[in-house]
């Protein structure tokens, strides 16, 4: 039996209406030095993809932008064979907004816990939607 946060490959195959799993992970009070380090962000993506068994497609894009200090920081996108991983790193609030969407099964709680550990977040919120 699975929890509401996870869905197995068999369940996805048996439920024609389930297309994929989308996780929104909001990380708070993160380590600013990691958030402002493009190479650390790229390394995080590599490890996360290995952990949740997603195959990266192309290079991780990490771009710094934002005219308004409230939203200024890096944004990241990583195509995966089964969809996309993206994030925005808001320096002023030390918050990270990470999204993982895949039509292959993965454990959103594992992704959230790893992200919180990697970026040394004091806490996080996880929202999961089974896309149909």
Domains of the chain with bracketed CATH:
30-131 (3.60.90.10)
The pLDDT score that the predictor gives to residue 2 is 44
User: pLDDT truncated to tens, each residue of the chain (132 aa)?
Assistant: 344 455 555 555 555 678 899 999 999 999 999 999 999 999 999 999 999 999 999 999 999 998 898 889 999 999 999 999 999 999 999 999 999 999 999 999 999 999 999 999 999 999 999 998
Secondary structure (3-state) at 4: coil
The pLDDT score that the predictor gives to residue 75 is 98
Alpha helices (runs of H) in 1-132, residue ranges in sequence order: 9-14, 32-35, 38-51, 108-118
Contact 15, 103 (CB under 8 A): no
The pLDDT score that the predictor gives to residue 18 is 80
**Radius of gyration (Cα) for the chain, nearest Å?**
15
């Amino acid at each position: 039996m699975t929890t509401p946060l996870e869905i197995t490959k068999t369940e996805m195959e048996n439920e024609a209406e389930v297309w994929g799993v989308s996780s929104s992970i909001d990380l708070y009070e993160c380590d600013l030095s990691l958030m402002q380090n493009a190479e650390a962000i790229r390394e995080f993506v590599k490890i996360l993809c290995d952990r949740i068994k997603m195959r990266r497609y192309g290079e991780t894009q990490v771009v710094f932008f934002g005219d308004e200090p409230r939203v200024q920081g890096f944004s990241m996108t990583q195509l995966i064979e089964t969809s996309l991983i993206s994030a925005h790193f808001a320096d002023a609030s030390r918050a990270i907004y990470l999204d993982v969407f895949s039509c292959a099964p993965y454990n959103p709680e594992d992704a959230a816990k790893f992200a919180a550990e990697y970026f040394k977040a004091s806490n996080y919120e996880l929202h999961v939607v089974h896309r149909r």
